[in-house]
């Protein structure tokens, strides 16, 4: 049974249809890269997968949950699905440690000692053990994004979603975030990432999906897709990136 | 009739009346704070009718003079057979007045917390109550401090309106002393000075909080 099933999903913002019947499946442990121009619907698709955007029709299943508009079901889903955003979105009034421990404590009612242990473990994973007591505004963008990843991981998700997580970062900071993600992928996490980092997608993603005008235009094994694009749109997109 | 002169004991009377001004301010801010808090929550609710009710309340309170609220609760209710003592009528009126303004100030503060904070906390499976309690309100509180303290200054000064129904706070005490001494300049300069002594530090506090908030958000 696949970890993620997206079936014929349609989504409109007002009169504009941004997803025009998208279907895909993700197996456990797979890493899927969603690429495409801005406005192609890739970020919207990702946000639909964890219910941040309501779909108009179709069906989405993830980690054994069905995406619905019922708040209780959505919360159950989100304990199993983590998401990291482009703008980090750490809680500025809480320290790094508190950012990470908050949700496990109040949502999953994990004992305090254990949330601390988990927080230290995930912080170590992203290479920021020494920042436990720092506040978000004392960290660089790259560090903040790694904390955001750690905060998601502390919920012990089955699937992780990444929404252009390096787009706001300088190149040298991008690298440290990508390294953390690559490590996660190697450890077998199921991941879907919207990204502009073509080299990263090619190297780390098992499959890459090229979205164009609200549809899956082309998909395939990453290496194949990048080296031998079939559609003129993808060919042009890949070429533009090389330049 | 022998006129008294404005002396030490008269000044003492003003100071003790100032105490009632402060008491009334505290009643208005705590009562208005509690009511205003819930109105602000209703105003930012996901339920449409709650938002409408809260918005209507705020519009009505802000759209009528405090004086009318005061007359309604003092004379209006006494006509209906409910004779409120001046302190209660004054306290209730100032509470209603403060609640309408605090609700609107705090609505703005809640809404100025970036919507990504809602998304991030929602994505961590928090309930709406948890989002408010642990993520949104602590940030809104910090944002709200300068404007809330600034509003407190308005409340201190506006309590003077309750002198109209005979509640003896600072302004009313000034009138009484003036009637006995007929030294309006001395008396009302003393009254004004006493208001200033309370309001000025509050204004400064508000400005200091404002600067600190700015410094923090640009660190």
pLDDT tens-digit readout, B35-84: 999 999 999 999 999 999 999 999 999 999 999 999 998 888 888 888 88
B74 DSSP assignment = I
- A103 contact B CB<8A: yes
- Residue B217: pLDDT band (50, 70, 90) is low
Predicted local confidence at residue B216, as pLDDT: 66
Predicted local confidence at residue B61, as pLDDT: 96
**Residue B6, SS3?**
coil
- A134 contact B CB<8A: no
Q: For A175-198, how does the pLDDT look when each residue is reduced to its tens digit (9 = 90+)?
A: 999 999 999 999 999 999 999 999
B180 with B50: CB under 8 angstroms?
A: no
Q: What is the mean pLDDT of residues B110-139?
A: 96
Predicted local confidence at residue A88, as pLDDT: 95
Number of compact structural domains in chain B: 1
C-alpha A222/C-alpha A211 separation (Å) is 14
Q: Which of B123, B125, B139 sits opposite A52 (nearest CB)?
A: B123
Domain spanning A4-89+158-242, CATH architecture: 3-Layer(aba) Sandwich (3.40)
Share of chain B above pLDDT 70, in %: 97
Neighbouring residues of A36: CB distance < 8 A, sequence distance ≥ 6: A42, A210, A211, A212, A217, A237
B33 DSSP assignment = H
Q: For A118-144, how does the pLDDT look when each residue is reduced to its tens digit (9 = 90+)?
A: 999 999 999 999 999 999 999 999 999
- A102 contact B CB<8A: yes
41-100 in A: which are within 8 Å (CB) of B?
Answer: 50, 52, 71, 75-76, 78-79, 82-83, 85, 87, 89-93
- Domain span holding position B89: 8-217
B3 DSSP assignment = P
C-alpha A85/C-alpha A106 separation (Å) is 22
C-alpha B13/C-alpha B173 separation (Å) is 7
Question: Cβ B125–A89 below 8 Å, yes or no?
Answer: no
In CATH, what number is assigned to the domain containing residue B199?
1.10.3720.10
**Residue A99, SS3?**
helix
- Residue A242: pLDDT band (50, 70, 90) is low
Q: Is the pLDDT at A151 greater than 80, yes or no?
A: yes
C-alpha A62/C-alpha A78 separation (Å) is 10
Strand duo A4-13 + A16-26: pairing: antiparallel
ipTM of the complex model: 0.93
Question: Cβ A85–B116 below 8 Å, yes or no?
Answer: yes
Q: For A95-117, how does the pLDDT look when each residue is reduced to its tens digit (9 = 90+)?
A: 999 999 999 999 999 999 999 99
Predicted local confidence at residue B68, as pLDDT: 93
- A137 contact B CB<8A: yes
B3-10 long-range CB contacts below 8 Å, 24 or more apart? Answer: B3/B180, B3/B181, B3/B182, B4/B180, B4/B181, B5/B181, B5/B183, B6/B177, B6/B181, B6/B183, B6/B186, B6/B187, B6/B190, B10/B177, B10/B180, B10/B181, B10/B187
- Residue B219: pLDDT band (50, 70, 90) is very low
Helix segments in chain B, DSSP class H: 8-43, 48-63, 66-71, 77-79, 86-111, 115-123, 128-130, 137-158, 170-181, 184-217
Residue B2 lies in a domain: no
A109: left (phi over 0), alpha (psi -120 to 50) or beta: left
Mean pLDDT in chain A? 94
Mutate to test the interface with A, among B109, B114, B120, B142 (most CBs of A within 10 A): B120
Question: Cβ B123–A137 below 8 Å, yes or no?
Answer: no
Question: Cβ A103–B125 below 8 Å, yes or no?
Answer: yes
Q: Which of A87, A137, A151 sits opposite B116 (nearest CB)?
A: A87
- Residue A19: pLDDT band (50, 70, 90) is very high
Q: For B157-191, how does the pLDDT look when each residue is reduced to its tens digit (9 = 90+)?
A: 999 999 999 899 999 999 999 999 999 999 999 99
Chain B residues whose C-beta is within 8 A of a chain A C-beta are 116-117, 119-128, 130, 134-135, 138-139, 142, 216, 219
Question: Cβ A78–B142 below 8 Å, yes or no?
Answer: no
Neighbouring residues of A71: CB distance < 8 A, sequence distance ≥ 6: B127, B128
Residue B3 lies in a domain: no
Predicted local confidence at residue B5, as pLDDT: 87
Question: Cβ B127–A137 below 8 Å, yes or no?
Answer: no
Neighbours of A94 (CB within 10 A): 18
Predicted local confidence at residue A238, as pLDDT: 87
Share of chain A above pLDDT 70, in %: 99
Predicted local confidence at residue B179, as pLDDT: 92
Q: Is the pLDDT at A207 greater than 50, yes or no?
A: yes
Mean pLDDT in chain B? 93
* Reported pTM: 0.90
Predicted local confidence at residue A177, as pLDDT: 94
């Amino acid at each position: 049974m696949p970890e993620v099933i997206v079936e014929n999903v349609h989504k409109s913002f007002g009169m504009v249809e941004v997803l025009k019947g998208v279907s895909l499946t993700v197996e456990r442990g797979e890493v899927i890269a969603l690429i495409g121009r801005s406005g192609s619907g890739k970020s919207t698709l990702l946000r639909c997968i964890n219910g941040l955007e309501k779909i108009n029709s179709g069906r989405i299943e993830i980690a054994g949950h069905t995406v619905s508009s019922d708040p209780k079901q959505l919360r159950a889903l989100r304990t199993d699905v983590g998401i990291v955003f482009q703008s980090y979105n750490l809680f500025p009034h809480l320290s790094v440690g508190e950012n990470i421990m908050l949700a496990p404590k109040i949502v999953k009612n994990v004992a305090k000692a254990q949330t601390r242990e988990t927080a230290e473990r995930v912080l170590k994973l992203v290479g920021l053990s020494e920042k436990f007591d720092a506040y978000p505004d004392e960290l660089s963008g790259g560090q903040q994004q790694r904390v955001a990843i750690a905060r998601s991981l502390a919920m012990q998700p089955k699937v992780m979603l990444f929404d252009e997580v390096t787009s706001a970062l300088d190149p040298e900071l991008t690298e440290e975030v990508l390294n953390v993600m690559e490590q996660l992928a190697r450890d077998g996490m199921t991941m879907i990432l919207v990204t502009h980092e073509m080299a990263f997608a090619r190297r780390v993603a098992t499959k890459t999906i090229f979205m164009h005008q609200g549809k899956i235009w082309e998909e395939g094994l990453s290496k194949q897709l990048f080296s031998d694009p079939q559609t003129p749109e993808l060919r042009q997109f890949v070429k533009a990136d090389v330049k | 009739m022998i006129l008294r002169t404005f002396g030490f004991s008269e000044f003492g009377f003003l100071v003790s009346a100032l105490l009632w001004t402060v008491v009334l301010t505290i009643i208005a801010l705590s009562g208005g704070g509690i009511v205003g808090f819930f109105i602000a929550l209703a105003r930012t609710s996901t339920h449409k009718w709650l938002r409408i009710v809260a918005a209507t309340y705020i519009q009505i309170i802000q759209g009528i003079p405090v004086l009318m609220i005061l007359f309604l609760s003092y004379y209006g209710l006494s006509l209906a057979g409910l004779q409120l003592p001046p302190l209660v009528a004054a306290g209730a009126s100032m509470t209603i007045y403060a609640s309408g303004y605090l609700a609107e100030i705090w609505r703005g503060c809640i809404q100025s917390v970036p919507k990504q904070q809602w998304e991030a906390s929602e994505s961590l499976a928090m309930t709406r109550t948890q989002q408010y309690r642990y993520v949104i309100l602590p940030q809104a509180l910090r944002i709200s401090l300068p404007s809330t303290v600034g509003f407190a200054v308005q409340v201190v000064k506006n309590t003077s309106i309750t002198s109209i129904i005979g509640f003896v706070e600072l302004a009313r005490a000034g009138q009484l002393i003036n009637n006995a001494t007929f030294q309006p300049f001395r008396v009302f300069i003393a009254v004004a000075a006493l208001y200033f002594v309370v309001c000025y530090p509050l204004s400064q506090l508000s400005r200091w909080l404002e600067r600190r908030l700015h410094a923090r958000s640009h660190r």
